[in-house]
Chains A and B, each alone.
Chain A
Amino acid sequence: MINYTENIRKISGDLLKSGKVDVVIGYKKGTLPGINEPFLARTPEDAQKLVWDSQCRLNLANYLTNRKENVGIVAKGCDSRNIATHIIEHRVTREQVTVIGVPCTGMTDKNKLRELAGGEITALTEKDGIITVTSRHGEKTVEKQDLLQSNCANCLHRNPVINDIPCADPVPEINTARNDAEIKAIEAMSPADKWAFFEDLLSTCTRCYACKNACPLCYCPTCFVDESRPQWVGKGDDPIDVRTYHTLRAFHCAGRCTDCGACEAACPMNIKVRLLTGKMEKSCFERYGWEAGLNTEVRPALDTFTLHDPEEFIK
């Protein structure tokens, strides 16, 4: 990771110095152990603050939306797929963006870190795939592999798909097929059990909207939940409105979600919202062999059609 950081700094500094880009979107070191802060470097000096490690959970493509300048952006595999989606959806142009590609070995799950520490984390270090967390109860050292977010453990595209200036050599992919075990378990439930499952899943949601605001797909100028002329959804904590929000959002992401995990990483209540988007992506894959953001040419599954599309489910 140290060489990732050094290379990102060097590449970004050079890009800014040469004037190829006006800004670089990356991360700077966080104020707490276990989290970094998205950061906009405007000068070669700023670029020296950039960092990379396994605590960069948000998706930086989210910060690219509607930017007008030439932008350098540090991107792991999933971020790069959302950049591709942004290009297809005309949020940015291909020419505008210089991707500093990060071959990704996964992000740590914030909850696994906390559980490992057994309390508040007071320090965290990471070296050669080994993570050490410190808390009042002492120090714990674990292989990073055991702490990955579930989307990272199941990731199919760790290497950026758009990769203008790689910050390191590609890493080997760790999976060859989707892991749908969690989704299949829900599919197998009876309708009543499903209802109860989702009711419990969403029961602690406060509708803070961190999930949608962390998502690079959720860039609508006015989200349907904010429509007020007329209003579409109630704004309180009525479970019907909470479910409406989550279900509709998942459908809006169908065929576009890269399973980056930013939504879940952002949720303060640790709600597994990816169970909803995951079902959408599973269907898109099964129906159309579609995975979002693998190139900048093909429009997302629900944004296009062919005469051969399966349609037996249309009744």
Chain B
Amino acid sequence: MKILHIDKASWDKGVLKSGETYRLTGPVKDKDTHAFKNLNDGELPDMGYVETKMSPKALLFPRSEVMLTYSTNPHDGNCNIMKEASKAYPPRAVIGIRPFDAKAIQLVKLNFDTEEYKDPYWLKAYEACTFVGLAINQPSITDFSTSCNTGPFDETGLDVLVVDTGHGFLAKILSTKGQAWADAAGFNIEAGADAASKITAMKKEAEANIVSKISVDKIAGKTVLELFDAGHWEDTAFGCINCGTCTFACPTCWCFDIQDETYGTQGVRIKNWDSCMTGLFTMHGSGHNPREYPYQRTRQRFMHKLKYFMDKYQEGIMCVGCGRCIKQCPANIDIREICNTMNQ
């Protein structure tokens, strides 16, 4: 694989230049955090950012997305006929995405891109993207990504892996899409022969700095019912207030709810984020709710992530160990602890 060397001044110039070919998206300061946003003309991604509270999943799976439009006006030729909302998907470069977040997109893809069902909105947005990742040199104390088939330098979901060496960037080109973006940016200076070993050394060091680990070996061997009926759930879930904070922040949580909103005779069908933590999520039309009690909803989240997903897809767990849910949970519900309890 080709590795390019980019000094910091050329980086800024090149990124802006690539903006002539791509719509640029990257981490920018947003109040007291960073968020992935479409960059304005001349705006640069903040490559010194530490984390974004919300994962970049919204780039492909927005909080609220209009899918279809309709009219209920009998005088309209298309009355009561759903039309696909018109949207453009120009090539987009997602710059500075963290390796675990890019890996999460691959996990979400397992759901939105199956033999049977393909979510056209997610897929078109996905295909338009080139993922230019930024390796994590200093993992957070809540980062357990190396226990989740990914890690601070994971290349899985990326087209380019950028490593900040302090003096400049090394950019490892991982796909033709990645090469195309580098060409558009005018990045073409190959790094010296020691670049690959430099990246390997930095990767080793970053991985060694990960203090958090989980293990799911015993969960894999247990039956669903054994885990589901285990006596601990009411106590494990006691502190959980069933807000959706963890599910909204999580890069791999993919649940959605479809809603029609009509203004006068014009309407839209919207796909909104939903959360298994709410009662309404499983409320039947009859009024019966199979997850009547709050602890059942908490159990669902962890059973889905750590057991159902693993059994269904055979691709590990539905968690990349980013630690967002741990940091943001107001009640200190910690997936690592719950995983330990389940894995006993």
Contacts and interface: CB of A to CB of B under 8 A. Distances in A.
Nearest to A267: B330
25 contacts: A30-B332, A31-B332, A32-B141, A37-B334, A38-B238, A38-B331, A42-B235, A58-B330, A63-B239, A120-B141, A136-B138, A208-B243, A209-B243, A212-B243, A213-B243, A214-B330, A228-B280, A228-B283, A237-B63, A238-B64, A262-B330, A266-B243, A266-B245, A267-B330, A270-B32
B332 A111 contact: no
Interface SS of chain B: loop
A266 B330 contact: yes
B332 A236 contact: no
B328 A37 contact: no
| Chain B contact patch, size range | 35 or more
B331 A206 contact: no
Contacts, number: 107
A58 B64 contact: no
Contact of A31 (B63, B275, B326): B326
Nearest to A226: B280
Contact of A234 (B32, B243, B261): B261
Contacts of B32: 111, 270
B138 A266 contact: no
B334 A63 contact: no
A298 B332 CA distance: 35
Interface residues of A, number: 43
Given A40-B235, A236-B64, A213 B241 contact: yes
Contact of A32 (B270, B278, B332): B332
B279 interface: yes
A204 B30 contact: yes
B72 interface: no
Interface in B122-181: 138, 140-142
Interface in A257-306: 262, 265-270
Interface of A: 30-32, 35-40, 42, 57-58, 62-63, 111, 119-120, 122, 136, 204, 206, 208-210, 212-214, 222, 226, 228, 231, 234-238, 262, 265-270
B245 A208 contact: yes
B336 interface: yes
Given A37-B239, A63-B238, A235-B272, A206 B63 contact: yes
B249 A37 contact: no
Contacts of B332: 30-32, 35-37
A136 B64 CA distance: 38
A38 B17 CA distance: 51
Contacts of A206: 54, 63, 248
